[in-house]
Amino acid sequence: MDRTIHFENATVFQLDPLTVPEKAIVRRLGYPAGEGRIDAGIRNMLDREIHKACEMITTSGIVRFLQVKENSGESVSFQNADFIIQSRQVSKMLKESDPVILFIVTIGKEIEDEISRLQQEDEITEGFILDAVGSEMADAAADKMHHEILKKIAGANGFTMTPRYSPGYGDWPVTVQKDILKICSGERIGISVNESSLMSPRKSVSAVMGFKKPD
């Protein structure tokens, strides 16, 4: 897939290993000035939970390329999917993009099971830290899909890339998660979406972005 973009089928990618985004984890834990302000006890606990997370996660992603039918500035429709993006902000981001890419990444369910166990056993601090680690690792998986795998495919086919945009931000409702799951065949990597439009495993990210021909 590094030379030809295929439009009809979703493609699964394995994303391991991930680089641990320690600075982002530290910021999420409330230490914006950096690691130097963390006391030794929390630092040791953080190191343990990062090590635990790296042993638990299994990271995968799935990608679907969509051919644009029309971008009205209010919505984007597609030739090869019965799906319409209803969002001014996403439509603006995808202006002059073709193809448009939907993707989902996940770090798996084992880490959230461990977070639940820690919370149930009143290991609140450990659970809080592991939850932060999991969230940042899921974002790191999305970054790897976006800035490594898709960047390579874009470059091999003469495209540049847009930023990415996820459901639930701006004017793009989180309720589109079910449609994205269906179009991407997200069940192939163990993803489901509940009645509240939340993905399971919880440490998963979905997004849209576009490929553009350089000016």
Task: Find the farthest-apart pair of alpha carbons in the chain and give their distance in angstroms, rounded.
Answer: 57
Residue 3 lies in a domain: no
173 belongs to a structural domain:
yes
Q: Comparing C-alpha atoms, which of 174, 199, 173, 170 is closest to residue 187?
A: 199
71 beta partners: 76
- Cα–Cα distance, 56 to 209 (Å, whole number): 29
Q: What is the spatial order of strands in the sheet that 84-86 belongs to?
A: 68-71, 75-78, 84-86
- Assess if residue 1 is contained within a domain: no
Q: Which domain holds residue 192?
A: 11-212
- Number of domains the chain contains: 1
Residue 16 located in a structural domain: yes
Confirm whether 4 is domain-assigned: no
Distance, CA of 95 to CA of 109 (rounded, Å): 36
Residue-wise DSSP of 127-170: HHHHHHHHHHHHHHHHHHIIIIIIHHHHHHTT-EE---B-TTST
169: helix, strand or coil: coil
- Domain annotation covers residue 2: no
> Does any domain span residue 22?
yes
CATH number at residue 105: 3.40.109.40
pLDDT by residue for the chain (215 residues), tens only, comes to 334 577 778 999 999 889 999 999 999 988 866 555 788 888 899 999 999 999 999 999 999 999 999 999 999 999 999 999 999 999 999 999 999 999 999 999 999 999 999 999 999 999 999 999 999 999 999 999 999 999 999 999 999 999 999 999 999 999 999 999 999 999 999 999 999 999 999 999 999 999 999 87
Asked if residue 188 is part of any domain, the answer here is yes
